[in-house]
Structure 1
Amino acid sequence: MVTPDTSPLLALSDYTIRFATPDGTVKAVSGLDLTVARGETVAVVGESGSGKSQTFNGVFGLLAGNAETGGQALFEGRDLLTLKPSQLDAVRGDDMAMVFQDPMTALNPAMKIKHQLSETLTVHKGLKRRAAEAEALNMLKKVGIPEAERRIEQYPHELSGGMRQRIVIAMALLCRPKLIVADEPTTALDVTIQAQILDLFRDLTADAGTALVLITHDLGVVAGIADKVVVMYAGRIVEEAPVDALFAKPAMPYTAALIRSIPRVDRDAEAVEPIGGRPPDLVNPPAGCPFHPRCHFAEDKCRQERPLLEAVGPGRRAACWFPYVDAGVTHHQTEPASA
């Protein structure tokens, strides 16, 4: 009997990213521990500047030249941070792929769609040009591009934003990768196209067993697609939980504040509460919990000591001295009232 492989597909351990700047060292990601299982959908959420995109740009080797990484980023047991550029090129686009936030900048404006898609297959799978173009056309149909035979002959500027995003997704899917990282894939799209793209991702993980990391600042888009939610703040994970448990009872006041800031059709606009203050300076982050200057529940311990990311319930972690306080739970209770 063959023992199933239960090891994580991606495992980040004590993962750090630093940027050297004239103003000092920017601590973009600090001591991050995260696993992504095979076939799992993980949503990574947080405000702009929280380190979401940089975390995975580092995994793909796409950081700026002034960046320095530390720790480990294991993909199927291989540390991506130690690979040579040629070795990393063999993994990117084949075993793991990224869907970038802006499809117009992800596509070459001077190349027809068929050439951009088929190039992925000729480079990674060794297909001949005609076979690669036929496979590219088939993938365009799978992602719902209407009149695919005509669209594949067009240039990016001739297509709508929704179509361009689908083409970028098609490009990511061509080699049947084991991991897809989608960075804000629905930003600037209308709600109808947004829903269609999320459905496409949902079908992908169900049918192909592909692991999906969805990077977004919007908790609202992850409720129906994610298995697990990772909340980042100031370059650190501050909460991790199964999606239903996180929405039902957030453990971290920052997570609760994010949820309250989401507009909802079942309540008045006045009920939306923006998060006061600003994210911290990552050159000189505050002492203690990085969220304490904006937290209504901060106490002296929060200002003086940084909380570690620790278990606070079944399948849950939080970096907070007083988890669940924002859910109406007594300050020093470290477990939810009902698990």
Structure 2
Amino acid sequence: MSHETQKDTLLELKDYSITFKTPDGEVKAVSNMNLTVKRGERIAIVGESGSGKSQTFLGIMGLLAKNGKTTGQALLEGKDVLSLKPRELDQIRGKDMAMVFQDPMTALNPSLKISRQLTEQLEVHGGLTARAASAAALDMLKRVGIPDPTRRFHLYPHELSGGMRQRIVIAMALLTRPKLLIADEPTTALDVTIQAQILDLFNDLTAEMNTALIMITHDLGVVAGLADRVAVMYAGRIVEEAPVDELFDNPAHPYTAALHASIPRPDQDVDDLVVIPGRPPNLQHLPKGCNFSPRCSQVQDDCIDRPPLLEVLALHHCAACYHPFPRREELLNHG
């Protein structure tokens, strides 16, 4: 890696794995993952429930359940956060990297007013006085589109709507201007119009602060206007990675193509929606070959024998598949 690209790299995962000890044996939630996130870049991590998307980043934040264990490296500006002591991690978490969760009520303390939850972060991580912290927190509430912020500043979480609470959580995450913001299904619990507003908010504020954004979602439709790059996960592995336009124009992995086909379209009958057959594999008993092989329409003998590695298909486009779909221009040239 050149000196210049090293400077641009914010987060680098190297052979990163997560396992959980259970009474029934070990579960490998994430397997040998490699991923690079540049400063200010927006990456979407897409996949079905249970694909390992959330666990990947809970591991980096040091928030795994007690039976979880990480191996490999997660380098934030060259420093391996997996090897930090809890107190060292506390200094980075919330300041340099922050996370927005799916349900804002799990991120907010129901017994504290919004004002205290916002100002505490600035006092602890920013060293601000109570007055300066209040002024900065109120300013951030305005920027995330909270109407009448002065009044709402003094309310408790249960006195606000779901959309408002999610805005508060985003304000809290961005207060310290983190270098990395991880958003875990942040719009799932919200109705469609509020969803669009929240995604616009992520777009504007991360661009303004040059904050790198990792958006975790099961919905490929959400990422089109937001991400620069998409990594598709299946059963604990990245199966495809590409710039967002390339991924939509030329999905190479059959799983990505199936996710793409399952996005509802206004001009399409509900009966025409494609459903991926079968279910995701049991992580304790993964197939010998490609994890997707039992559900794949393109499966052949070599898919069942050994797992495919992530290989470059085109510029910045990788897929872990022995029989990837050809690129659209290749089809046209041969047509």
1:130-177 per-position Cα deviation (integer Å, ceiling 9, x unaligned):
211111111000000001001110000000000000000000000001
Which residue is equivalent to 1:240? Answer: 241
| 1:301 Cα deviation after fit | 0.4
| 1:5 Cα deviation after fit | 6.1
Distance 1:250 1:280, change over 3 A: same
TM-score by length of 1: 0.95
Q: CA separation in 2, counterparts of 1:309 and 1:199?
A: 32
Q: Do the aligned partners of 1:256 and 1:326 also contact (CA within 8 Å) in 2?
A: no
Could you say what secondary structure the match of 1:296 adopts?
coil
Could you say what secondary structure the match of 2:110 adopts?
coil
Distance 1:70 1:3, change over 3 A: closer
Which residue is equivalent to 1:333? Answer: none
Q: Do the aligned partners of 1:40 and 1:205 also contact (CA within 8 Å) in 2?
A: no
Q: CA separation in 2, counterparts of 1:13 and 1:252?
A: 22
| 1:261 Cα deviation after fit | 1.1
Which residue is equivalent to 2:170? Answer: 169
Which residue is equivalent to 1:76? Answer: 77
RMSD across aligned positions (CA): 1.8
1:69-90 per-position Cα deviation (integer Å, ceiling 9, x unaligned):
1000000000000000000000
Q: Do the aligned partners of 1:219 and 1:258 also contact (CA within 8 Å) in 2?
A: yes
Deviates more, 1:285-294 or 1:263-272: 263-272
Matched, 1:117 2:118: yes
Matched, 1:254 2:292: no
TM-score by length of 2: 0.96
Q: 1:19-168 alignment to 2 at 5 Å?
A: 19-168=20-169
Could you say what secondary structure the match of 1:9 adopts?
strand
Could you say what secondary structure the match of 2:187 adopts?
coil
Q: Do the aligned partners of 1:250 and 1:327 also contact (CA within 8 Å) in 2?
A: no
| 1:122 Cα deviation after fit | 0.7
Q: CA separation in 1, counterparts of 2:240 and 2:5?
A: 29
Q: What letter corresponds to residue 270 of structure 1 in structure 2?
A: D
Which residue is equivalent to 1:309? Answer: 310
Distance 1:328 1:272, change over 3 A: farther
Which residue is equivalent to 2:194? Answer: 193
Distance 1:296 1:155, change over 3 A: same
Q: CA separation in 2, counterparts of 1:227 and 1:168?
A: 24
Could you say what secondary structure the match of 2:279 adopts?
coil
Q: Do the aligned partners of 2:249 and 2:328 also contact (CA within 8 Å) in 1?
A: no
Which residue is equivalent to 1:209? Answer: 210
Q: Do the aligned partners of 2:102 and 2:189 also contact (CA within 8 Å) in 1?
A: no
Q: CA separation in 1, counterparts of 2:27 and 2:322?
A: 25
Distance 1:161 1:72, change over 3 A: same
1:284-339 per-position Cα deviation (integer Å, ceiling 9, x unaligned):
10110000000011001001111001101111110000111597978xxxxx969x
Distance 1:237 1:104, change over 3 A: same
Q: What letter corresponds to residue 42 of structure 2 in structure 1?
A: T
Q: CA separation in 1, counterparts of 2:111 and 2:329?
A: 56
Which residue is equivalent to 1:15? Answer: 16
1:188-247 per-position Cα deviation (integer Å, ceiling 9, x unaligned):
211111111111111123211110000000000000010000000000000000000100
| 1:7 Cα deviation after fit | 3.6
Deviates more, 1:241-250 or 1:201-210: 201-210
Distance 1:3 1:295, change over 3 A: closer
Q: CA separation in 2, counterparts of 1:137 and 1:93?
A: 18
Q: CA separation in 2, counterparts of 1:4 and 1:239?
A: 22
| 1:270 Cα deviation after fit | 1.5
| 1:129 Cα deviation after fit | 1.2
Q: Do the aligned partners of 1:252 and 1:326 also contact (CA within 8 Å) in 2?
A: no
Deviates more, 1:114-123 or 1:204-213: 204-213
Could you say what secondary structure the match of 2:9 adopts?
coil
Deviates more, 1:127-136 or 1:26-35: 127-136
- What 5-or-longer segments of structure 1 have no aligned partner? 331-335
Which residue is equivalent to 2:268? Answer: 267
Q: CA separation in 1, counterparts of 2:78 and 2:5?
A: 16
Q: What letter corresponds to residue 61 of structure 1 in structure 2?
A: G
Distance 1:263 1:87, change over 3 A: same
Could you say what secondary structure the match of 1:119 adopts?
helix
Aligned residues, how many?
332
Deviates more, 1:84-93 or 1:125-134: 125-134
Deviates more, 1:130-139 or 1:237-246: 130-139
Could you say what secondary structure the match of 1:287 adopts?
coil
1:27-47 per-position Cα deviation (integer Å, ceiling 9, x unaligned):
000000001000100000000
Distance 1:70 1:109, change over 3 A: same
Percent of aligned positions that are identical: 64
Q: Do the aligned partners of 2:141 and 2:168 also contact (CA within 8 Å) in 1?
A: yes
